[in-house]
C-alpha cells in the first residue's frame, strides 16, 4: 500500500521476513510504519520481557543491550536499501560500518522502539545513513551506518 507521496505503509512481519535473512531470535524489526524508497524508513520493535537476552542482561534489572538496538537500526536500514535497489542486487548488500554510536537512555521491557533511518548519500556502491532510535518522544540511541552494495558473498 502506498500513500500519495509515494511512501509505503503497512509492512507486517511476514513481508519483513521475506525481505530480510534474519530469523528468531535475531529479527529485531516487527513492523514497518513508513518507507520512502531511496529516502527513509520508520519501523518499530516491541520490546517484551520474553526476549531471550533479558535472562542475562540483567536478571534483576532487564535492559536491552545497546548492540541489539544498533542491530535493529541496521535491519531497518537493510529494509530501506532492499526496497530502494533493483532486484538483481538486493541479495548483495553488506553492512560495512557503524560509526558514532551513542546510547542515551535505557530500553526496558514494555517499551516500543521506533527506528528512523535516512539515506544521507550514495556514491558508487557505498551508502551512508543516519539512524536514530526512540521510545515515545525519548531519543534512546543513534549511529551512522555504512553499507556496500553489489558485493559478492
The string over 97-129, giving b where at least 16 C-beta atoms fall within 10 Å of a residue's C-beta and e elsewhere, is: ebeebebeeebeeebebbbbbbbeebeeeebbb
User: Is there a catalytic annotation at residue 139?
Assistant: no
C-alpha cell at 60: 534483576
Catalytic site residue from 22, 57, 92, 132: 57
**Under 8 Å between Cβ of 104 and 55:** no
Q: How many CB atoms lie within 10 A of CB 83?
A: 18
Alpha-carbon separation of residue 100 from 2, 17, 19, 77, 93 (angstroms)? 33, 28, 27, 16, 21
Please compute, for residue 75, the number of CA atoms within 13 A of its CA located in the half-sphere on the CB side.
28
The catalytic residues are: 57
Amino acid at each position: 500500500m502506498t500513500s500519495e507521496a509515494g511512501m509505503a505503509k503497512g509492512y507486517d512481519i511476514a513481508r519483513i521476513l521475506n525481505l530480510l535473512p534474519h530469523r528468531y531470535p535475531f529479527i529485531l524489526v516487527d513492523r514497518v510504519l513508513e518507507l520512502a524508497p531511496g529516502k527513509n524508513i520508520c519501523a518499530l520493535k516491541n520490546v517484551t520481557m520474553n526476549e531471550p537476552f533479558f535472562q542475562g542482561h540483567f536478571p534483576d534489572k532487564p535492559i536491552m543491550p545497546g548492540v541489539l538496538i544498533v542491530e535493529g537500526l541496521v535491519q531497518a536500514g537493510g529494509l530501506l536499501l532492499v526496497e530502494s535497489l533493483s532486484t538483481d542486487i538486493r541479495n548483495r548488500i553488506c553492512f560495512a560500518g557503524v560509526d558514532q554510536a551513542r546510547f542515551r537512555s535505557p530500553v526496558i521491557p514494555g517499551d516500543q522502539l521506533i527506528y528512523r533511518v535516512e539515506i544521507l548519500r550514495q556514491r558508487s556502491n557505498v551508502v551512508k545513513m543516519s539512524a536514530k532510535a526512540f521510545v515515545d518522544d525519548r531519543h534512546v540511541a543513534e549511529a551512522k551506518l555504512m553499507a556496500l552494495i553489489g558485493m559478492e558473498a
